[in-house]
Structure 1
Amino acid sequence: MKIRKLAAIDIGSNAMRLLINYVYEIPGMKPVFNKTSIVRMPIRLGEDVFIEKKISDKNASRLVDAMKAYQLMMDIYGVEHYNAYATSAMREATNGSEIVKKIKKSSGIEIEIISGNTEAELIFATELQSFILDDNNYLYVDVGGGSTELTLITNGEVKLSKSFEIGTVRLLEGRVEKSVYPEMKKWIEENIRQYEVDLIGSGGNINHVYKYSGVQLGKPLKGAYLRSRYKVIRNMSYEERLQELNMKPDRADVVEYALEIYTKVMKWSRAKKIYVPKIGISDGMIRKLYAEIKDKD
């Protein structure tokens, strides 16, 4: 058996994550992907970018330090290959390219700034493919800090996708254009309503809600539960969310905005349930990286 040690760094608008993944290769069998370690750091880049259009010196310094730490961790684990992607906040930061160069110089980590469509493609590269049923239609909803990606999946394949500049940090800071929700609603009505869809939710906020829902693992949340949970959380104070719901500080202030997006998408698409398989961009990054390595073998 051969063990490959891979890593993915996902730099989002609300937080960044390092996923270290071992891949077990056994002759005559499919590779086994083992999530060995996940390290999340709450560096909220969107708080800078969506207001000032650039990453502050303070957060740039924190980002550089975080990358140095990630590099040390990858060295300790013996990681052989990695991918590092940045999404919405870094895309929009006027000094994004400058910071990418600084990180490369200080830590050796090369970061690629990707588009919203690439984010959607990475999601479908995950084990999501083994989760969906070919005779069902799904609307995949990935809510991030700066953007939301909607992807229609029919017959087991991506039919179309669209990225919208609306996310939890953007809503928190009041930096969402008034036209975005109407545009999202129109896109869903024109492209999704002709299908009978179930939602698939991705992101830390929906994962947290699902974890404490009491629903059996693998089973979907009903729309009625999602709507009622949204109302409950919206009426709780920040302190109550920390104490009673055991939330991280950088989740407690944005979770209501994530649920706002999910409930609106559910209403507009006329979906009645949402599956939460707990997979994300970093999982897709690992799969993509592994495929690229195998192609070179």
Structure 2
Amino acid sequence: MLTIKKYAAIDIGSNAVRLLISNIIEQKGKPTLFKKSSLVRVPIRLGSDVFVNHEISLENQQRMIDTMVAFKLLMKSHKVSVYKACATSAMREAENGAKVSKLIEKHAKIKIDIIDGEEEAAIIAATDLHSYIDDSKTYLYVDVGGGSTEFSIIRHGETIASKSFKIGTVRLLNDMVRNETWLDLETWIKFHTKNFEKIDLIGSGGNINKIFKISGKAMGKPLTYFYLTSYYNKLQTYSYEERITELDLNQDRADVIIPATRIYLSAMKWSGAKDIYVPKIGLSDGIIKSVYFNTVSGVTMS
């Protein structure tokens, strides 16, 4: 007996807003399968408002409402049965974040949970990685966002430490990350990785996904520190316009990809990692799985 349900996750980030729709495939006596059905990304970049002016502008408030109305219609068309919307760094720091959330609920009938950095890190860390990783190894999981980056240490398949830092691509573009924050991150990574002889990175986020795609590597194969450093240096030899026209990057990717790569490289340097694996999972996947397993008991994740 096969049962297929559709779940959705809305991730309201500092750089972009995403709607992920997944098929939940239940089979008697077998693990539940999660298959991505549709992903829509809208680059509203709330962080550019909030990190500079501390609130979401009227223009972006309207764009958010329009986007959420569209997402609501898409979920209806896909016959989504359950969804959850989570907002991260930009919405939680915006002085008018709660007000905008209420406006969205009024016009789009979508309720938004504004989650803190630790909850965000926990959702990401709870994402099932067993099909992507070797449980005998130790990993530093790095999820780079626009406003913050979430770090988790995974040892033998279990998360043993997790922390969110206010170091994100949009903050870096606006020169809003203090040296003290970088030092705190360096200290945290070195402290939590010093006892491990070998550690690899797991990278998630749109920028590392794009770099992985450009590399032509097969799924499951890592990018090396040498490759990422070379690509980082290459990016900096091109202007913003040339990254769009010659490197074929979208305009909302062409600027943030440099600070994102800097974060991954810093994490690799401080942890001593030589390889970074890119399983193409993130907060949206974690939201769907956490909602599913909170509503269904006795099911094994796959």
User: What letter matches 2:257 in structure 1?
Assistant: V
1:41 matched residue in structure 2: 42
Q: Secondary structure at 2:253's aligned position in 1?
A: helix
1:78 matched residue in structure 2: 79
Rounded to whole Å, the distance in 1 between the matches of 2:281 and 2:135 is 19
Unpaired stretches in structure 1, ≥5 consecutive residues:
none
1:204 matched residue in structure 2: 206
Once the two structures are overlaid, the 10-residue window that deviates more, 115-124 or 170-179, is 115-124
2:226 matched residue in structure 1: 224
The answer to whether the aligner puts 1:171 opposite 2:172 as a matched pair is yes
User: What letter matches 2:8 in structure 1?
Assistant: A
1:66 matched residue in structure 2: 67
User: What letter matches 1:118 in structure 2?
Assistant: E
Q: Secondary structure at 1:131's aligned position in 2?
A: coil
Q: Secondary structure at 2:52's aligned position in 1?
A: helix
Residues 147-185 of structure 1, C-alpha deviations (whole Å, 9 max, x = no match): 011110112100011111011000001111221111111
2:125–2:152 Cα contact (<8 Å) kept: no
Among 291, 294, 300, the residue aligned to 1:292: 294
Rounded to whole Å, the distance in 1 between the matches of 2:179 and 2:65 is 34
Rounded to whole Å, the distance in 2 between the matches of 1:292 and 1:190 is 33
C-alpha RMSD over aligned residues: 1.4
Residues 220-247 of structure 1, C-alpha deviations (whole Å, 9 max, x = no match): 0111111111110122111111122221
Equivalent residues, number: 297
2:31 matched residue in structure 1: 30
Once the two structures are overlaid, the 10-residue window that deviates more, 249-258 or 29-38, is 29-38
1:201–1:275 Cα contact (<8 Å) kept: yes
2:119 matched residue in structure 1: 118
Identity score, percent: 51
Deviation, 1:296, is: 11
User: What letter matches 1:39 in structure 2?
Assistant: V
User: What letter matches 2:281 in structure 1?
Assistant: I
Q: What TM-score does the superposition give when structure 2 sets the normalisation length?
A: 0.95
Rounded to whole Å, the distance in 2 between the matches of 1:93 and 1:192 is 34
Unpaired stretches in structure 2, ≥5 consecutive residues:
none
- The correspondence of residues 144-155 of structure 1 with structure 2, limited to 5 A, is 144-155=145-156
1:193–1:270 Cα contact (<8 Å) kept: no
User: What letter matches 2:153 in structure 1?
Assistant: L
Q: Secondary structure at 2:122's aligned position in 1?
A: helix
Once the two structures are overlaid, the 10-residue window that deviates more, 162-171 or 130-139, is 130-139
1:55–1:96 Cα contact (<8 Å) kept: yes
Deviation, 1:124, is: 2.6
1:240 matched residue in structure 2: 242
